[in-house]
């Protein structure tokens, strides 16, 4: 992991906050819009994760490109809250978002061509065609408010066009023939995704801290803040206790083609719903009265969006995490049942929380997540010991060579 990559990832703290804010300000439609924006941002992040696994981001042209992309991504994050404006006044913000999207992709393409001079026509098409088609769809969505259509049709049309852009970006990017990908360093690949999960959980804590910063210190505020940290900490424990070991060990042991498939499915694809689950969880916390300055409603239940975001977000994280472990390792499949059971329990309890206070619903969620983490810790002990021993043995045999990014240096 290089300092340039760390700097690059820090921008996503702000980007994730903006996504959560978009969800909060626009209700149910805002949730859909926020998830679409998150999905598009995630693909840009993933492209650079693949690229920096191939070349070191601390030297030469690769360092310059990463440093150039970072402010562009930050500007793109600034525009997120205006990206779906329904009037002509919002078009400029939308166009800025699209311009940043294109700039990021062009800079990525330039560095990719530099480090892969024999990319070929098929590879070039796989990298450029999705970007061109997706950009056209996003531009069409940006100009819909000027067509004079009713606002509800504009809103639906924008969501449909954005969904198509996302489908094109993901679908064509994987379907078109490209030169064989390769994961040069299993440890680097796992660490990059470990860090982005920490970034997302950090955004959750920032959202809670920011919401309560201007409020008077009350027992309910302090309790809600502590409970939010317990939930985030339990999810962090579940993610890092066994699965990080499972992921790195599986990537190391796999042959070249299977390693790429595992990296793509387990990390590029299945980490997206994990991040989305954390964003939904943050949205649910922003509906908790004790955290948003509505002390008179402390005894009230969460509204429908709040409770489904709170419990549904945690359930989505656990389901995606279970799928991740199932895809990566056969030997670790036996210990996914606590996550699956907890996810089903949370989905069943979400409607029930309409009968209890918001603070009680948050306390119940914290208890369930913490118990799940403890159960996983207990049942996964043999697998965890075996994986740590295997990874330590490989490190001892290979020195520290796999801890650095392999491949050429740009």
DSSP string, 302-338: PPHHHHHHHHHHHHHHHHHHHHHHHHH-STTGGG-HH
What is the number of domains present in the chain?
A: 2
Q: What is the pLDDT of residues 246-269, one digit of tens each?
A: 888 888 888 887 888 899 899 999
Average pLDDT over residues 201-221: 77
Q: Which of 247, 292, 285 is nearest to 265 (CA)?
A: 247
Q: Which of 270, 55, 63 is nearest to 184 (CA)?
A: 55
pLDDT at 87 over 50: no
Residue 257, both tokens: 């083609």
Residue 384 lies in a domain: yes
Q: pLDDT at position 358, please?
A: 87
Residue 203, both tokens: 């955004």
One domain, residues 110 and 41: yes
pLDDT at 26 over 90: no
d(CA 386, CA 334): 14
Under DSSP, the state recorded for 58 is T
One domain, residues 264 and 146: no
d(CA 388, CA 390): 5
Residue 410 lies in a domain: no
d(CA 204, CA 283): 9
* Contact of 318 with 348, CB cutoff 8 Å: no
* Contact of 60 with 409, CB cutoff 8 Å: yes
Residue 283 lies in a domain: yes
- Residue 294, domain CATH: 1.20.1410
Pick from 129-138, 185-194, 394-403: least confident: 394-403
d(CA 308, CA 408): 47
One domain, residues 167 and 312: no
Place 211 in a pLDDT band, splitting at 50, 70 and 90: low
Q: pLDDT at position 78, please?
A: 93
pLDDT at 336 over 70: yes
Pick from 66-70, 87-91, 136-140, 208-212: least confident: 87-91
pLDDT at 326 over 80: yes
d(CA 217, CA 196): 31
One domain, residues 49 and 78: yes
One domain, residues 137 and 229: no
Q: What average pLDDT is seen over the chain?
A: 85
Of the two residues 405 and 56, the one the predictor is more confident about is 56
Cβ burial 278-291 (10 Å sphere, 16+ → b, else e): bbbbbbbbbbbbbb
Place 68 in a pLDDT band, splitting at 50, 70 and 90: very high
Residue found by looking up tokens 């940006």 in the block: 142
One domain, residues 200 and 161: no
Alpha helices, H only, 57-90 = 60-78
Residue 5, both tokens: 């990559």
Place 80 in a pLDDT band, splitting at 50, 70 and 90: very high
Residue found by looking up tokens 């790195």 in the block: 248
Residue 393, classified by CB atoms within 10 Å of its CB into exposed (0-12), middle (13-18) or buried (19+), is exposed
- Choose one of 175, 202, 219: the last residue of a domain: 175
Q: pLDDT at position 218, please?
A: 75
Of the two residues 148 and 298, the one the predictor is more confident about is 148
d(CA 173, CA 167): 9
pLDDT at 85 over 90: no
* Contact of 356 with 301, CB cutoff 8 Å: yes
Per 3-state DSSP, the chain is made up of helix, strand and coil in percentages (nearest 5) of 85, 0, 15
Residue 181 lies in a domain: no
Of the two residues 126 and 351, the one the predictor is more confident about is 351
Residue 255 lies in a domain: yes
Cα-atom radius of gyration of the chain, to the nearest Å?
Answer: 22
Read off the pTM. 0.89
Place 368 in a pLDDT band, splitting at 50, 70 and 90: very high
Q: pLDDT at position 408, please?
A: 42
One domain, residues 144 and 293: no
pLDDT at 66 over 90: yes
- Choose one of 112, 140, 175: the last residue of a domain: 175
One domain, residues 273 and 340: yes
Residue found by looking up tokens 């290979």 in the block: 398
One domain, residues 109 and 136: yes
Place 91 in a pLDDT band, splitting at 50, 70 and 90: low
Q: pLDDT at position 40, please?
A: 94
Q: What is the pLDDT of residues 1-14, one digit of tens each?
A: 788 899 999 999 99
Residue-wise DSSP of 102-160:
HHHHHHHHHHHHHH-TT-HHHHHHHHHHHHHHHHHHHHHHHHGGGGT--HHHHHHHHHH
Average pLDDT over residues 13-35: 90
Helices and strands (DSSP H and E) totals, the chain: 16, 0
Q: pLDDT at position 126, please?
A: 77
Residue 372 lies in a domain: yes
Under DSSP, the state recorded for 222 is H
One domain, residues 150 and 191: no
Of the two residues 262 and 215, the one the predictor is more confident about is 262
pLDDT at 144 over 90: no
One domain, residues 240 and 147: no
pLDDT at 410 over 70: no
One domain, residues 390 and 312: yes
Residues spanned by the domain of 324: 186-402
d(CA 153, CA 124): 36
Under DSSP, the state recorded for 79 is T
What's the gap between Cα 240 and its chain centre? Answer: 16
- Choose one of 175, 203, 229: the last residue of a domain: 175
Average pLDDT over residues 211-236: 83
Alpha carbon dihedral 293, 295, 301, 307, in 10-degree steps, equals 20
Residue 408 lies in a domain: no
Q: pLDDT at position 214, please?
A: 64
Place 176 in a pLDDT band, splitting at 50, 70 and 90: low
Nearest 5 degrees, angle CA 279-CA 23-CA 357?
Answer: 75
* Contact of 154 with 144, CB cutoff 8 Å: yes
Residue 289, both tokens: 């009265």
Residue 110 lies in a domain: yes
d(CA 174, CA 178): 8
């Amino acid at each position: 992991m290089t300092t340039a990559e760390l700097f690059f990832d820090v921008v996503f703290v702000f980007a994730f906050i903006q996504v959560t804010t978009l969800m909060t300000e626009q209700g149910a439609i805002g949730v859909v819009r926020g998830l679409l924006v998150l999905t598009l941002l995630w693909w840009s992040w993933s492209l650079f994760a693949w690229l920096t696994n191939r070349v070191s981001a601390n030297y030469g042209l690769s360092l310059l490109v990463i440093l150039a992309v970072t402010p562009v991504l930050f500007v793109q994050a600034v525009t997120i809250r205006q990206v779906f404006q329904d009037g002509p006044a919002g078009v400029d913000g939308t166009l800025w978002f699209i311009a940043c999207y294109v700039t990021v992709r062009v800079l990525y393409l330039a560095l990719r061509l530099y480090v892969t001079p024999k990319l070929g026509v098929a590879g070039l098409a796989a990298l450029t065609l999705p970007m061109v088609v997706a950009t056209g769809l996003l531009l069409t969505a940006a100009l819909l408010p000027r067509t004079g259509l009713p606002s509800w049709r504009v809103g639906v049309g924008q969501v449909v066009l954005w969904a198509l852009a996302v489908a094109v970006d993901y679908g064509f990017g994987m379907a078109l023939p490209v030169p064989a990908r390769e994961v040069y360093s299993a440890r680097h690949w796992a660490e990059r995704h470990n860090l982005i999960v920490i970034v997302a959980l950090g955004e959750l804590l920032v959202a809670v801290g920011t919401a309560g910063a201007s409020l008077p210190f009350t027992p309910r505020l302090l309790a809600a803040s502590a409970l939010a940290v317990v939930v985030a900490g339990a999810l962090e424990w579940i993610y890092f206790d066994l699965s990080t070991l499972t992921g790195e060990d599986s990537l190391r042991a796999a042959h070249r083609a299977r390693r790429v498939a595992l990296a793509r499915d387990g990390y590029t694809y299945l980490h997206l719903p994990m991040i989305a689950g954390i964003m939904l969880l943050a949205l649910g916390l922003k509906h908790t009265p004790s955290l948003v300055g509505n002390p008179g409603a402390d005894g009230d239940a969460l509204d429908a969006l709040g409770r489904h975001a709170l419990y549904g977000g945690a359930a989505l994280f656990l389901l995606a995490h279970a799928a991740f472990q199932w895809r990566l390792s056969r030997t670790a499949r036996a210990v996914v049942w606590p996550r699956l059971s907890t996810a089903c329990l949370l989905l069943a309890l979400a409607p029930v929380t309409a009968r209890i206070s918001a603070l009680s619903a948050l306390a119940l969620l914290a208890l369930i997540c913490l118990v799940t983490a403890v159960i996983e810790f207990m049942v996964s002990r043999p697998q965890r010991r075996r994986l740590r021993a295997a990874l330590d043995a490989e490190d001892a045999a290979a020195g520290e060579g796999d801890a650095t990014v392999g491949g050429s240096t740009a």
